[in-house]
Amino acid sequence: MPTPTTDPRRATMITVLVPLLRASCPPDAGGYGGGLELRMPDAEADELGGAELLRSAARAAARRLGWKTETYGLVGTRHGTMVGVVDRREAPAPFAEAVQRDKSRRMRAAVDRVGRPGATPPAPAPVPGNDPRMPTVAFRAAYAEARPAESASDGDA
């Protein structure tokens, strides 16, 4: 069994993840402040090569964008497998305000999703770019589209 860095699926995942990571950056932030989390059933993650392969590909894709990365991979959570990567670079002055605004917006949305103690607010309206399922949906679609080319180049098709 190949290691995460030698697994042929990794190159396809990196290619698919780079534009998703780029799109995760806040507008007007100059490519700073992005982050991505993939959530999927454990069995699906295993079919893709496991959390370690997904995490390795996410880290490599983020580094292609010049990110200083923090990654995590969790298996067996109530959401199944969760793999994430976050850009931890300090944003230069021209972009710092946009990054901070986005972090505040995401934090407010997370608190609203959980609810406030003692209150039963209605479910918040979805905030564009703030649905935690969307990166996984986009990753699945892009990977499925890229996969036939990978299989053909391996002689599997």
pLDDT digits (tens, 9 = 90+) for 52-64: 999 999 999 999 9
Angle between helices 9-24 and 51-64 (to 10 degrees): 60
pTM of the model: 0.81
- What does the buried/exposed string (b/e) look like for 7-38 if buried means 16 or more CB atoms within 10 Å of the residue's CB? bebbebbbbbbeebbeebbbeebebbbbbbbb
Q: Which of 54, 22, 59, 49 is nearest to 38 (CA)?
A: 54
* pLDDT band (50, 70, 90) for residue 157: very low
Report whether 59 contacts 35 (CB < 8 A).
no
Residues in the chain: 157
pLDDT of residue 73: 94
Which pLDDT tens digit goes with each residue over 24-41? 999 999 999 999 999 999
pLDDT of residue 111: 82
